[in-house]
Structure 1
Amino acid sequence: MDMALTTILTLSSGFVFDYTNLYGYGRITEQDIAEIGDSLTAAHQAVVHMRTTGEVCGHLSKEGKPEKVLFSQLPYVEEGNLNSPASLARLKAFSQSLRNKADAVISFGIGGSYLGNKVLFDVHCGEFWNNKSREERDGYPKLYFSGNNMDPRRTRELVEHIEYEARQKTDAYRVVLVVISKSGSTLDTMSTFMVAYDALSKAGPHIEVQVTAVTDPAADANETLLHKLAVQEGWSMFSVPDGVGGRFSVFSEVGLITAACVGFDMDAFLAGARAMDEACKTQELWQNPAMLNAALKYLAAEKYGRDIEVFMPYADYLKSLAEWYIQLLAESLGKRTDRSGRVVFYGRTPVVAVGTTDMHAQTQQHQDGKQDKVVQFVKVTRWAEDVAIPDSFPAAAKLAEFSGLTLSQALEAAREANAAALTGDGRLNATFVLPELNAYHLGELMYLLALSVAYEGELANVDAFDQPGVEAYKRLLGPMLKKKKL
């Protein structure tokens, strides 16, 4: 039996990958899959080897030394693993040290030290978290992000806002600065951290400043600047683990530190990731969500020229997920050379979109522009809270047409209409379906996407775990900073 004929892969959790509009007549074909059969077998074997040993063929650190890839270990909380019972207990103890004690946390990080953290915050907290009372936040502090750009206006305004909030209290205002940098010399993160640390430390006794550093744990000759500072200043510390690139670090202490700050269910998040990893251990393509996703997107790009992926969740609070995916796909697969050194300029370009917002902004291009895209929808089936559209103006017949529906029903109708219109014109699209928007299903989806790039890297024969293009500008940045100081 050809399992692909169903075109819908459903996991026991209810998570669904619906690739109906990506595979079949006029789309990716059974013959296309057959032609890369040997490559898929090799790719799966390579991922199994990565899981077992941490070894990825040809992968080197930016210093040119062999480096293990360990992100697939992160969902498994076991003694001796990067996430252990002891490390999770430390995070939970840190979480409780903030409850009903800290007024605000400012998280400083960029790239993987920001993007994944923002996803956890958005899904758990939403837009209005910082406007809620302490009781409504269950005792957890307000949380702000900085360090993801060196914008002088926003940095100054954030400091001024904290100072303003402190003046509204009769007792001391406690702010915790969480600074995340493996090297400790990340310009964007450390510069804004130092600005805030200096200003708030000098603001007077009404503001108490504490610092927690998330950095390389090594205390030997390779000790990082931030680790050394943390030891000297007596700051608490968590780890940026070796073998886990920033874009995969949301499952490590780098991302879980944000979970701890706001009470996000890190156990459920890792359980979802673990369940997805277990589902992806099969070599059966049509039952392995990550391998299937990678194969279909790879073929769409290489054989049919659909080398742009529009990642379009139908949920406001998943926009940051699309932004996280931008880094994951771009840094992992945008590569000049393959592993044999041959110039290939490989990579699919990711684009952020949100339904229904961008149906009124981007869909014109998706529908009538170049046929170079795959639109990847994300659907939420059951919403924790839903709102019925009232019949507020009965005399307005056009408004009465959709009154009585819930907002989620109208949202899904819009997604279905978008997908049908695209499909009717041969525009490839697929849908990830989350039964609910919660920590478990978020863990499933984020891990699926992370593992997908590992599979696609094997299919394209590129190193999905280095980022030499990023190092190019970094080599130029230091001298340019020195020139600015002259």
Structure 2
Amino acid sequence: MPEIKKAHEAMDVMRKTGVIHAHLSKDGTPEKVLFSQLPYIEEGNLNSPESIARLKKFGESARNRVDAVVSLGIGGSFLGNKVLFDVQCGSYWNLKTKEERNGYPKVFFSGNNIDPRSTKDLIDYISHAADMAMNHDKKNPHKYTVMLICISKSGGTLDTMSNFMVIYNALKDNPNVEIEIVAVTDPNEKKPTLLKKMAMENNWESFAVPDGIGGRFTIFCEVGLVLAAVTGFDIEAFLEGAKQMDIACQNDDIWQNPAMLNAALKYIAAEKYGRDEEVMMPYGDYLESVSMWYIQLLAESLGKQFDKDDKEVCYGRTPIVALGTRDMHSQTQQHQEGKLNKIVQFIRINEWDNDITIPNAFPEAQKLSDISGVTMGQALEVARQSNADALTSNKRFNALFSMPKLDAFNLGQLLYMLAMSIAYEGELANVDAFNQPGVEAYKRIMGPKLQEVKAQNK
């Protein structure tokens, strides 16, 4: 409890000043940590009334005008945006009519890998859609407007910028395509990054990747909210959910502070019981992206070779994505009987919109009749509860995060709680939860190797 109290005091200091003990930026200078400010829409904050109004105006400007948005980003700039897209839009968004999408554009993701096939497939699709819009839309022949949202703080991110250049170059000379570019980058205009300089010179609309917000926390700032705006996602409800969770996490009673309790239990599980793998297993298809987002949050924040005193500790847990019920038929054998080194976490939705009752479509088949008469949501929860009970019966640690509904407010609460849990555990483990020196290591190797390959191609 004394260590937990110290961690809580460190969170209070972070909220008030942005200071985290021993946290340095990648260039070795002190850097503030400002993610706990993001839920508060206030004058002078990163999310201000003016910035939210601008985002909403930006989203409205895309309605009934932009045909397709390509969101180009990697890390949190992809993973966070994908969460917001999945919860708001679902898998079949791009198959809906413009009217069914309430005038908002189709959305595609790129820049999260350097895959020539998928990038060419995207270019081919847009080119075909542009041809159809211009030559086969008899009611409204028009140029196909494509908005490229390029997200990179430096403007030099290999994965994102290579895709951006390939897609832009392939579409810019297509007479049926109208390209708009939006830059989400470092906002400093006095010492602009490459992407910011390009945005200023070409009059591209730009939004901020702010200082003090690591990529894995940017879902709560303009990096994530720009894409949210062009899908009609309720930005204010999302941030209000995060705000209400932050208020709860200011409680110094561990039993009333969900982030503190979550962090303490996981730290004890890891250090005392050797549970060094962490499975995130939501029950709901459109929450799988939450698991993908959480992988980065956990791995980059807590996977550290050295603690704040430069002692080698090699701390952290291996994150694993799972999905209920799908992976009950693949991973659960390992969870249930494999090594005693896992924490399995479930996310459930208490009340589903438009829940569907399973019909007795084949009454002559008794086994099928036995599973009819309940809703799909109820059946999903029975499966989850059965999984949890089985794990518990065999000394397998598991936890449940229960969402009242799948909406913007409750999503904001859940994601912020997970982010704050990571901040607490960083203090308990005495590691810097806000740097990522291991990522910088491969980047230093990658640059020269790329130049070697370029020289061979000449």
TM > 0.5 between the two?
Answer: yes
Q: How does 1:473-484 map to 2 (within 5 A)?
A: 473-484=442-453
The question of 1:175 aligning with 2:139 is answered no
Q: How does 1:173-252 map to 2 (within 5 A)?
A: 173-204=144-175, 206-221=176-191, 223-252=192-221
Query: CA separation in 1, counterparts of 2:330 and 2:174?
Result: 44
Residues 242-263 of structure 1 deviation map (CA, whole Å, 9 limit, x = unaligned): 1000000000000001110100
Partner of 1:274: 243
Query: CA separation in 1, counterparts of 2:202 and 2:301?
Result: 36
Is 384-393 or 141-150 further displaced after alignment? 384-393
Partner of 1:21: none
**Structure 1 residue 233, shift from structure 2 partner:** 1.1
**Structure 1 residue 203, shift from structure 2 partner:** 1.3
Query: CA separation in 2, counterparts of 1:404 and 1:165?
Result: 43
Letter matched to residue 44 of structure 1: H
Partner of 1:89: 53
Letter matched to residue 435 of structure 2: D
**Structure 1 residue 390, shift from structure 2 partner:** 0.8
Query: CA separation in 1, counterparts of 2:157 and 2:251?
Result: 39
Residues 182-205 of structure 1 deviation map (CA, whole Å, 9 limit, x = unaligned): 00000000000000011111112x
Query: CA separation in 1, counterparts of 2:71 and 2:399?
Result: 34
Letter matched to residue 11 of structure 2: V
Partner of 1:330: 299
Report the 3-state secondary structure (helix = DSSP H, G, I; strand = E; otherwise coil) of the residue aligned with 2:404.
strand
Letter matched to residue 223 of structure 2: V
Among candidates 447, 466, 469, match of residue 438 of structure 2: 469
**Structure 1 residue 468, shift from structure 2 partner:** 0.2
Root-mean-square deviation (Å): 0.5
Partner of 1:30: none
Report the 3-state secondary structure (helix = DSSP H, G, I; strand = E; otherwise coil) of the residue aligned with 1:433.
strand
Q: How does 1:122-161 map to 2 (within 5 A)?
A: 122-161=86-125
Residues 113-134 of structure 1 deviation map (CA, whole Å, 9 limit, x = unaligned): 1100000000000000000000
Query: CA separation in 2, counterparts of 1:352 and 1:198?
Result: 35
**Structure 1 residue 361, shift from structure 2 partner:** 0.7
Query: CA separation in 1, counterparts of 2:112 and 2:410?
Result: 27
Query: CA separation in 2, counterparts of 1:95 and 1:104?
Result: 13
Partner of 2:324: 355
**Structure 1 residue 49, shift from structure 2 partner:** 0.3
| % identical equivalent positions | 61
Query: CA separation in 1, counterparts of 2:219 and 2:336?
Result: 34
Query: CA separation in 2, counterparts of 1:303 and 1:195?
Result: 50
Query: CA separation in 1, counterparts of 2:395 and 2:418?
Result: 25
Query: CA separation in 2, counterparts of 1:385 and 1:198?
Result: 43
Q: How does 1:53-68 map to 2 (within 5 A)?
A: 53-68=17-32
Query: CA separation in 1, counterparts of 2:320 and 2:420?
Result: 19
Query: CA separation in 2, counterparts of 1:274 and 1:258?
Result: 20
Partner of 1:98: 62
**Structure 1 residue 107, shift from structure 2 partner:** 0.3
Partner of 1:70: 34
Residues 218-273 of structure 1 deviation map (CA, whole Å, 9 limit, x = unaligned): 0113x100000011111000000110000000000000011101000000000000
Letter matched to residue 108 of structure 2: Y
Among candidates 46, 60, 65, match of residue 10 of structure 2: 46
Among candidates 252, 265, 269, match of residue 296 of structure 1: 265
Letter matched to residue 323 of structure 2: V
TM-score normalised per structure 1: 0.92
Report the 3-state secondary structure (helix = DSSP H, G, I; strand = E; otherwise coil) of the residue aligned with 1:390.
coil
Partner of 2:419: 450
Residues 55-75 of structure 1 deviation map (CA, whole Å, 9 limit, x = unaligned): 000000000000000000000
Q: How does 1:375-454 map to 2 (within 5 A)?
A: 375-454=344-423
Report the 3-state secondary structure (helix = DSSP H, G, I; strand = E; otherwise coil) of the residue aligned with 1:436.
coil
**Structure 1 residue 307, shift from structure 2 partner:** 1.2
Query: CA separation in 2, counterparts of 1:113 and 1:392?
Result: 45
Letter matched to residue 180 of structure 2: Q
Partner of 2:137: none
**Structure 1 residue 363, shift from structure 2 partner:** 0.1
Residues 163-190 of structure 1 deviation map (CA, whole Å, 9 limit, x = unaligned): 1111111211111000000000000000
The question of 1:261 aligning with 2:225 is answered no
Query: CA separation in 2, counterparts of 1:252 and 1:122?
Result: 18
Partner of 2:138: none
Among candidates 300, 316, 334, match of residue 365 of structure 1: 334
**Structure 1 residue 385, shift from structure 2 partner:** 1.3
Query: CA separation in 2, counterparts of 1:244 and 1:269?
Result: 18
**Structure 1 residue 161, shift from structure 2 partner:** 0.3
Partner of 1:321: 290
Report the 3-state secondary structure (helix = DSSP H, G, I; strand = E; otherwise coil) of the residue aligned with 1:377.
strand
Q: Which has the higher contact order (CA 8 A, sep 6+)?
A: 1
Letter matched to residue 18 of structure 2: G
Query: CA separation in 1, counterparts of 2:51 and 2:296?
Result: 27
**Structure 1 residue 413, shift from structure 2 partner:** 0.4
Residues 404-436 of structure 1 deviation map (CA, whole Å, 9 limit, x = unaligned): 111111100000100000001111101000000
Report the 3-state secondary structure (helix = DSSP H, G, I; strand = E; otherwise coil) of the residue aligned with 1:137.
coil
Letter matched to residue 159 of structure 1: I
TM-score normalised per structure 2: 0.97
The question of 1:286 aligning with 2:255 is answered yes
Query: CA separation in 2, counterparts of 1:405 and 1:89?
Result: 44
Letter matched to residue 189 of structure 2: A
The question of 1:165 aligning with 2:155 is answered no
Among candidates 24, 38, 44, match of residue 80 of structure 1: 44
Partner of 1:311: 280
